[in-house]
Structure 1
């Protein structure tokens, strides 16, 4: 194999998510080629050389939510060949609160984040001050309309409380670009009904947690979306509840397919019972109920 640019080789080996990020890693002095620090992203390297990226300082996020989304994105990057694209994305953060999710998106190269929350004055000043962020406070996500979200997001993340995602999914899909990625954090404690909560408001039953994730997945499919993977959150909710990220895409006529690794039910069971991320067999797409 002929020599190629170091930044391109870092991406090919899965050591950087983009050539821009590869260049940043080189500038930070974290890339070693055969044990020697690299100084230029354009440095030619062959397939035979050892290329290592040294660990950097752990990120500091303004909330626990940031660590959850960061971990979920890392898990998806390790799981699938074409994970959700953050770099350059126009994003909607539904339920932005203090800005943990928004902060992760910015750190990963998002072009813009529309941060929406029903509350006021919650977002950390350091996040809100970023010129790529537009904060919309006092907005009930169920009232959001396409004209409120321009340009249409190519990536939607959601961290909502005290409401079922099944009620919100049609809105999120409705304001998204065709084929947009959706990363929805499913909180079983807000999906199963108050009467099914255990002590302290915790959903202790794995079966009920599975039902919660499946219900949200079916809500996505009912409006024509596709389900791609289920990822356990790396951190629990404040009361100790298990939470899960559902990766889906808005309708677009079949933009992306993934490897055949199991049914939706199998993927949810793997995430809930085995605490492992799992892909979903395509084409788990749906059509709006009115067209069925």
Structure 2
């Protein structure tokens, strides 16, 4: 057995590294509730030591109607944003993972916008705090459709760049409002960059993210912070989150590169 495999870490740290929890705080919660198992045995302490060879599993009821809720929960925590008592717009709501997360964090009202129809989970559709806007192209949104400005806009879209949607959001967002957008590099970069729909080049990730930040600035917004998504996309693509504002400080571009380096290191990629 190699020396590397003999090295041990705390299980609350390893849960985060293996994407089984979004933070050490969540790791501790899962352990306290008796939901973490190590090699088939229930874990009693957050300080339990584990090696790379150990098998860790989670027994937990689904928190949200889709895994999108876990992604957004992570981003909200990273960006220190609370949706409590806020009016929000969920663009690309689909099944409703983002909407579900916002509701569980006590958002006041959510406009669930999607170009499709019939996808939103029934539990959310029946919630009086949710206004369902189906068959609506986000690029055509206006204050005539959503007759109030939002404190928070969250976005998860596919097959289109987020930069194509941002202009329509200008009048829908309060001056001090925030946009938290999932960024999928495979839809922000040129198709020639892709191999089977997956980006497998770290430097290309950096290039695409920096170019997207530049395009967002041209649309009249600023990217204030960035982080990675704790869960990969459906095809295995690495995804990121941007915290976007109308006014404020630009993200340090070196921090963007650091985020890319961090996620590539976490998932064990080398390129």
Both structures adopt the same fold (TM-score exceeding 0.5): yes
Q: Distance in 1 between matches of 2:119 and 2:148?
A: 24
Paired residue for 2:96? 99
1:1-292 alignment runs, 5 A limit? 60-76=63-79, 83-198=80-195, 200-251=196-247, 254=248, 264-275=252-263
TM-score (norm 2): 0.71
Indicate conservation of the 8 Å contact 2:91/2:112, yes or no.
yes
Indicate conservation of the 8 Å contact 1:88/1:109, yes or no.
yes
1:264 Cα deviation (Å)? Answer: 2.9
Offset from partner CA, 1:138-195 (integer Å, 9 cap, x none): 0111111122122111100000000011211212233211121010110011111221
Runs of 5+ unmatched residues, structure 2? 1-24, 26-32, 34-59, 265-271
Count of residues paired in the alignment: 207
Offset from partner CA, 1:204-238 (integer Å, 9 cap, x none): 11122122222332233223323221010000001
Secondary structure at 1:154 match in 2: strand
Secondary structure at 2:242 match in 1: strand
> Which aligned segments of 4 or more residues in structure 1 are displaced greater than 4 angstroms?
none
Gap change, CA 1:248 and 1:58, over 3 Å in 2: farther
1:263 Cα deviation (Å)? Answer: 5.4
Gap change, CA 1:263 and 1:132, over 3 Å in 2: closer
Indicate conservation of the 8 Å contact 2:149/2:171, yes or no.
no
Indicate conservation of the 8 Å contact 1:85/1:155, yes or no.
no
Q: Distance in 1 between matches of 2:120 and 2:210?
A: 31
Secondary structure at 1:190 match in 2: helix
Offset from partner CA, 1:28-81 (integer Å, 9 cap, x none): xx9xxxxxxxxxxxxxxxxxxxxxxxxxx76611112111111111222xxxxx
Q: Distance in 2 between matches of 1:142 and 1:156?
A: 14
What is the RMSD computed on CA atoms of the aligned residues?
2.1
Secondary structure at 2:144 match in 1: helix
1:268 Cα deviation (Å)? Answer: 1.1
Q: Distance in 2 between matches of 1:245 and 1:108?
A: 19
TM-score (norm 1): 0.66
Gap change, CA 1:58 and 1:210, over 3 Å in 2: farther
